Amino acid sequence: MRKKIVAGNWKMNKNFLEGIDLAKELVEKHQPSESNKQLVVCPPFIHTAALSELFSATSIELGAQNCHTSDKGAYTGEISAGMLKSLNAKYCLVGHSERRANFFEDNQELFQKCKQLLANDIRPIFCCGEMLEDRREGAYFDVIEDQLEVLWKLSKTDFQKVVIAYEPIWAIGTGETATAAQAQEVHAFIRSQVAKKMDVTIAENTSILYGGSCKASNAIELFSKPDVDGGLIGGAALQADEILAIYNAL
């Protein structure tokens, strides 16, 4: 049975004390459910050490928003996968649309990040998704297929540790959300690509998350679709009650 995951991406929000308060509220209110369901929190780096300690006696897993392609070196301002591992991080975002657009991350860089994370027993949450013009032109499958090429370079053993997140860029932070049918269509396509490039069993066990303005009010409908295994949550992750309601919709 593939894991159902809700991962909260705080992005560049919450100062140190605000982040601690939010994490404490999550710890207080989160009620763990079945073992195949997982809540992950990906805060800014300033919170990582404190949240590692706060989550240590809970079922909430710590994630990160980014890592560098190298394990160490003269890379001022960067964080390595090994540093994240030392804080017991279990997940890390790779290829988020904001990183692709604002920091020009390409396929080769994303592949190296995946390799660094996997070498440190951290599960990449690999993001893919189309822009509005791609959607309008009917080219979204082509865009996603190209973005997924990074993953086919991994061994089958490594690939099975990867989580995929579909994030339609036109629905991020806009209040627009892909319909449940649109999300299912793309998630099913992604799973078919995994089956084609890896194998059917691996495809059936790969968690694929939806990441486009998912909130408590639409989570049940989205998660009811057979190929939608949870969500990568942005704005709604900044409110404990909201993200916990999304988690409870799994």
User: Sign of the C-alpha dihedral, residues 75, 81, 87, 92?
Assistant: positive
- Give rounded-to-5 percent helix, strand, coil for the chain: 50, 15, 35
Active-site residue, from 61, 130, 167, 242: 167
Q: How many residues are there in the chain?
A: 250
With tokens 């973005």, the residue in question is 147
How far apart (Å, rounded) are the C-alpha atoms in residues 202 and 153?
15
Is 187 noted as a catalytic residue in this protein? no
What dihedral angle (degrees, nearest 10) is formed by the CA atoms of 8, 13, 17, 21? -30
Beta-strand runs (E) in the chain? 4-9, 37-42, 61-64, 91-94, 123-128, 163-166, 208-210, 230-233
How far apart (Å, rounded) are the C-alpha atoms in residues 180 and 21?
33
Closest CA to 236 of 222, 225, 247: 247
How far apart (Å, rounded) are the C-alpha atoms in residues 154 and 122?
15
Active-site residue, from 96, 105, 130, 187: 96
Is 96 noted as a catalytic residue in this protein? yes
How far apart (Å, rounded) are the C-alpha atoms in residues 16 and 19?
5
Closest CA to 150 of 127, 170, 134, 130: 127
Residues labelled as active-site residues: 96, 167
